[in-house]
A = this chain, B = another copy of it.
Amino acid sequence: MIDIALMANDVHVVILAGGSGTRFWPASRRHSPKQLLPLAGRVDEPLIAATVRRVAPIIAPENIWVSTNTILVNATAEVLPQVSRDRFLAEPAARNTAPCIGWATATIARTNPDAIIAVLPADHFVADEPEFRRVMASAVQAAREGWLTTIGIVPTRPETGYGYIEAGAIVAEGVHSATRFIEKPTRERAEALVSGGRHLWNAGMFFYSARVMLAAIKKHLPALAEGLSALDHAASRGDEATTLANVFPSLPAISIDHGVMEKADRIAVVPGSFGWNDVGSWEATWEMAPRDSQGNSLPQNSIAIDATNNLVRDLSNTANGKRWALVGVHDLVVVETDDAVLVIPRERAQDVRAIVDELKSRGETHRL
Q: Which residues of B have CB within 8 Å of A340? A: 322-325
Q: Are A303 and B343 in contact (CB under 8 A)?
A: no
Which of B316, B322, B329, B354 lies in contact with A332, CB distance below 8 A?
B329
Q: How far is the CA of A324 from the CA of B307 in the complex (A)?
A: 22
A316 to B321 Cα, complex, angstroms: 13
A364 and B323 in contact, given A305-B358, A358-B303 (Cβ under 8 angstroms): yes
Q: Please give the count of copies of this chain that the complex contains.
A: 2
Q: Smallest Cβ distance from A26 to chain B, in angstroms?
A: 7
How long is the Cα–Cα vector from A341 to B358 in the complex, in angstroms?
A: 25
A336 within 8 Å of B by Cβ? yes
B322 in contact with A345 (CB, 8 Å): no
Most chain B beta carbons < 10 A, residue from A321, A327, A348, A358: A327
Cβ contacts A318-358/B at 8 Å (1 or 0 each): 10011111111100101010111111110010011011001
Interface residues as binary, A2-40 with B (CB distance below 8 Å gives 1, 0 otherwise): 000000000000000000000000100000000000000
Q: Are B324 and A343 in contact (CB under 8 A)?
A: yes
Is A110's beta carbon under 8 Å from chain B? no
Residues of B contacting A85 with CB < 8 Å? none
Give, as a whole number of angstroms, the nearest-CB distance from A333 to chain B: 9
Interface string of A130-149 (1 = CB under 8 A from B): 00000000000000000000
**Least distance between A347 CB and chain B CB atoms (Å):** 8
Q: Is A343 in contact with B326, judged by CB distance below 8 angstroms?
A: yes
| Chain B nearest Cβ from A220, distance in angstroms | 42
- A367 is an interface residue with CB less than 8 A from chain B: yes
Cβ A332 vs Cβ B343 within 8 A: yes
Q: Does A359 sit within 8 A of B, measured CB to CB?
A: yes
* A interface residues (Cβ-Cβ under 8 A, vs B): 26, 303, 305, 307, 314, 316, 318, 321-329, 332, 334, 336, 338-345, 348, 351-352, 354-355, 358-359, 364, 367
Q: Which 3 A-B pairs have the closest CB atoms?
A: A328-B348, A327-B344, A325-B355
Given contact pairs A324-B343, A327-B342, A336-B341, a sample of 10 additional A-B residue pairs in the complex whose CB atoms are under 8 Å apart: A26-B325, A303-B358, A305-B358, A322-B339, A323-B341, A323-B364, A325-B342, A327-B351, A327-B354, A328-B345
